[in-house]
Amino acid sequence: MTQPRDFGFGEEQVMLQDSARRFMEDKAPLNALRAATKGTEDPYLGDERTGHYNPDAWKEMVELGWTALAVPEEAGGVGMNLITAVAVAEEIGRAAMPTPLTMTLLATFVLREAGTTEANQWLERIAGGLSMTLALHGKEDFLETDSTQVTASDSDLSGTSWYVQDIQKVDAVLVAAKDGGDVKLYCIELGADGVSMEHDRIVDLTRDQGRLTFDGAAATKVSDAGVDVINAAMPAMLTLLSADTAGACEWLLQETAAYAKVRTQFDRPIGFFQAVKHPIVNMMITADETRSLVYAAACTIDNEPEGSELAARLAKSSACDTAEFCANRATQLHGGIGFTWEHDVQIYHKRVMHTQQLFGDGVFQRSKAAELF
């Protein structure tokens, strides 16, 4: 199949992205984040942090139909393609907005791949505003799709799932659990009996992470082929996370370029000097490379699924490397202020470093991509 022009990024996607950008700017999420996390900035010595987000903004996202974007029409959604969801994910990253939407989109693509009646029922609830995250990992070998330490017996879950993202923001969770040696997928609301939560201390102020322990918790089975479903959904999940990083790195680039025009040294803006000018140009090159690979991956998944895994892993590999490069350069080129709590650079720096580790960093992605040849 021939790929569409401009990666399938048409007028509808441009309008949605512009609308999302205005929405994020209007909410000014980092102002509220700073107030909510004051005293908890240090993950080791600070107070315990609660998962901050704006519930009113979430309700507006639901009303705008963003939770229904990737939900198939037969499940009550809009049925849009991945490139449309990427447009929104990129703006979430650009604003570093604390929200359950990104993880809900990831869960949506897993449920889409499950394709069962039960999965569609949960997709209908997501389209209606239910937020959801993923509980797929065990403590060890967590990058493998069968690493879960949760077990299931007649859809009753027992055990602990680790590294669950935005655990304090969501209503429900999609759980991988082993039943007779096979990994199966289950959905359960976090308020259900037999579900308990512990919080991890992480450096990313915009997200939260934790562990879920199940003690005979009754869940709904949505797929018997857990590993196959997760692997099938992995390209979309990697692409959405890469889009988040692409948006964040664009903010780091623009903020650093603007700062270099107003910060003076030796009676000149620091952007005049090659030692500052050249790194900013390199930030632009790497950020553009990542965005192009993200759009290419989304377009491939939408139109040529046989090449989706390679395209997605290349996009995530690029995003991981760009995250580290742009975050480091932005922090360094902001000088003393860049290392302090007072500037937003450190918030973005921590966010992209956290995203870098989700489902594997650049080295991991390249090793997986090499296996495809």
What confidence tier does 177 reach under pLDDT thresholds 50, 70, 90?
Answer: very high
Amino acid at 172: A
* Nearest one of 68, 212, 217 to 130, comparing CA atoms: 68
3-state secondary structure of 283: helix
Mean pLDDT in residue range 139-148: 91
Amino acid at 187: C
* Nearest one of 32, 7, 85, 26 to 247, comparing CA atoms: 85
- Residues 192 and 172 sit within 8 Å (Cβ to Cβ): no
* Nearest one of 312, 347, 341 to 327, comparing CA atoms: 347
3-state secondary structure of 137: strand
pLDDT digits (tens, 9 = 90+) for 322-354: 999 999 999 999 988 888 888 999 999 999 999
Residue 44 has pLDDT above 90, yes or no: no
* Cα–Cα distance, 191 to 116 (Å, whole number): 24
Quickly tell me which residue has 């018997």 as its tokens: 224
Strands 172-179 and 132-135: parallel
Q: How many CB atoms sit inside 10 A of residue 294's CB?
A: 32
Residue 168 has pLDDT above 70, yes or no: yes
* Nearest one of 255, 76, 53 to 166, comparing CA atoms: 53
Q: Compute CA 23 distance to the chain's CA centroid, rounded to the nearest angstrom.
A: 18
What confidence tier does 256 reach under pLDDT thresholds 50, 70, 90?
Answer: very high
Residue 10 confidence (pLDDT): 87
pTM above 0.85, yes or no: yes
- Residues 105 and 239 sit within 8 Å (Cβ to Cβ): no
- Retrieve residue 113's tokens: 């791949």
* Cα–Cα distance, 293 to 150 (Å, whole number): 35
What confidence tier does 211 reach under pLDDT thresholds 50, 70, 90?
Answer: very high
Cα distances from 248 to residues 7, 245, 254, 264, 341, in angstroms, run: 21, 5, 10, 26, 18
Mean pLDDT in residue range 221-241: 97
Mean pLDDT in residue range 68-95: 95
Question: What letter would DSSP give residue 77?
Answer: S
The whole-chain average pLDDT of the chain stands at 94
Mean pLDDT in residue range 304-312: 95
Residue 39 has pLDDT above 90, yes or no: no
3-state secondary structure of 195: strand
Cα distances from 243 to residues 83, 165, 212, in angstroms, run: 10, 17, 27
Residue 113 has pLDDT above 90, yes or no: yes
* Cα–Cα distance, 358 to 255 (Å, whole number): 25
Residue 251 confidence (pLDDT): 97
DSSP states of 89-100 as a string?
HHHHHHHT---S
* Cα–Cα distance, 306 to 213 (Å, whole number): 37
Residue 267 confidence (pLDDT): 87
Residue 264 confidence (pLDDT): 83
pLDDT digits (tens, 9 = 90+) for 239-251: 999 999 999 999 9
Domains of the chain: residue spans and CATH: 5-127 (1.10.540.10), 132-225 (2.40.110.10), 228-370 (1.20.140.10)
- Retrieve residue 37's tokens: 């996390």
* Cα–Cα distance, 145 to 129 (Å, whole number): 27
Mean pLDDT in residue range 58-71: 96
DSSP states of 188-199 as a string?
EETTSTTEEEEE
Residue 273 confidence (pLDDT): 86
* Cα–Cα distance, 159 to 164 (Å, whole number): 14
Residue 305 has pLDDT above 80, yes or no: yes
- Retrieve residue 57's tokens: 């903004």
What confidence tier does 105 reach under pLDDT thresholds 50, 70, 90?
Answer: very high
Residue 1 has pLDDT above 60, yes or no: no
* Cα–Cα distance, 167 to 322 (Å, whole number): 27
